[in-house]
């Protein structure tokens, strides 16, 4: 049986329960709200993994915000970053002179976020920041760190709360992890 089939049969274990996710997201929303006070922002949801986090975060944000969606795909069905980033859906509108906040699910090697930030910076936003629910500091291969981070985690392979393995597990309300042999 291929390794990915065995993984798909596992029941993910809980890494961060729903209540802790929601409590931390409320704190992030406070912090972001304070920093941008008086400004409208363009919040960019990086598809697909961050759609659940994005929708919880923007509903707690006390700011006027325009939502944009950027599709990127960086892994295929593999568990290690290929470093190749493919844009699968571009923004609808220009972001020139806008205050842009990129919302990511995970920063692992950092290659995806750094590609996204460079691409968006070229479009001349008034400001450009990033917020990631998760950061794996030990896996970073670039010097990029999100401006806002929900949780720093180890090198677990996480799923749930919008995050998938091979397209599965996105609907779990908690952040789980799955075990994989090395």
Q: From the list 74, 99, 120, 176, which residue makes contact with ligand IMP (rule: CB under 6 A)?
A: 74
**Residue tagged active-site, from 5, 108, 143, 164:** 108
Give the binding range for Mg ion (CB under 5 A) out of 31-39, 47-55, 81-89, 93-101: 47-55
By a kind-dependent CB cut-off of 5 to 8 A, residue 110 interacts, out of ligand IMP, Mg ion, none, with ligand IMP
By a kind-dependent CB cut-off of 5 to 8 A, residue 75 interacts, out of ligand IMP, Mg ion, none, with ligand IMP
Cβ neighbours for 165, distance < 8 A, ≥ 6 positions apart: 4, 7, 8, 77, 79, 157, 159, 178
Total residues at interface with ligand IMP (CB under 6 A): 18
Cβ neighbours for 176, distance < 8 A, ≥ 6 positions apart: 12, 13, 14, 15, 158, 159, 160, 169
Is residue 149 at the binding interface for ligand IMP, with CB under 6 A as the rule?
A: no
Is residue 144 at the binding interface for ligand IMP, with CB under 6 A as the rule?
A: no
Catalytic residue at 108? yes
Is residue 106 at the binding interface for ligand IMP, with CB under 6 A as the rule?
A: yes
The binding track of 39-58 with respect to ligand IMP, each residue x by CB under 6 A or -, is ----------x---------
Q: From the list 12, 49, 150, 176, which residue makes contact with Mg ion (rule: CB under 5 A)?
A: 49
Distance CA 120, CA 114 (A): 10
What residues act catalytically? Answer: 108
Contacts with ligand IMP, residue ranges (CB under 6 A): 49, 74-75, 81, 104-113, 157-159, 163
């Amino acid at each position: 049986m291929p390794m990915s089939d065995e993984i798909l049969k596992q029941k993910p274990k809980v890494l961060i329960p729903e209540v802790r996710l929601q409590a931390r997201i409320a704190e992030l929303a406070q912090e972001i709200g304070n920093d941008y006070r008086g400004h409208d922002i363009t919040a960019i949801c990086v598809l697909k993994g961050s759609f659940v986090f994005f929708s919880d975060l923007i509903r707690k944000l006390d700011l006027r915000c325009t939502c944009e969606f950027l599709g990127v795909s960086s892994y295929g069905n593999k568990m290690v970053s290929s470093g190749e980033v493919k844009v699968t859906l571009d923004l609808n509108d220009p972001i020139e002179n806008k205050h842009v906040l990129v919302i990511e699910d995970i920063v692992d090697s950092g290659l995806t976020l750094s590609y996204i930030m460079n691409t968006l910076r070229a479009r001349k936003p008034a400001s450009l920041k990033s917020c990631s629910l998760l950061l794996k500091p030990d896996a970073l291969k670039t010097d990029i760190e999100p401006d806002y981070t929900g949780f720093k985690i180890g090198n677990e392979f996480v799923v749930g709360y919008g995050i998938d393995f091979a397209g599965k597990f996105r609907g779990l309300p908690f952040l789980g992890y799955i075990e994989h042999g090395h």
